[in-house]
Amino acid sequence: MKKFHLILAVCVMVVMAACSNSKSGGYNPETTKALIEKVQKNEEVTQEDYSEMIDQCEAAFNELNAKSDEIKDLPADKREEAALKLLEDSDYAQMYQSVLNLGMILQSHQGNLDEDNSKKLEKLMEDIEKKAKENV
């Protein structure tokens, strides 16, 4: 049981630290990839791009929380297995890596965010911290 909580807490905290309702309707791997590539190619990143980065982090955060809640609702003897299975899921792994990349971009570009995006990111980080405390 402690192992499950540790695995779950680490997963939730890393994804949450990297990056809550996306304008695009949820996490979108293609959108996330395009945003990351834009930064990698040193193209101009607009406030709308930053906003979408935050939205994608939020959407992934929400998906992760939903999966986390599903696992918490399982019988105790099934939780660890379900958490490990989630970690082996290739779609989850791709989402996880993309969100980590977006989180690093947002962190390094934090000084470029306008007031609205700064507040939006701050609110997301507060939500993340709150959820992380609930999961520990």
For 80-124, the pLDDT digits (tens) are 898 888 888 888 888 888 888 998 999 999 999 999 999 999 998
Domain that holds residue 53: 2-135
Nearest-5° Cα angle at 98, 82 to 101: 125
Give pTM, 2 decimals: 0.76
> What is the pLDDT confidence band of residue 4, given thresholds at 50, 70 and 90?
very low
Our count of domains for the chain comes to 1
Cα Rg, the chain, nearest whole Å? 15
Give me the percent of the chain exceeding a pLDDT of 90: 40
Let me know: does 59 contact 21? Beta carbons within 8 Å.
yes
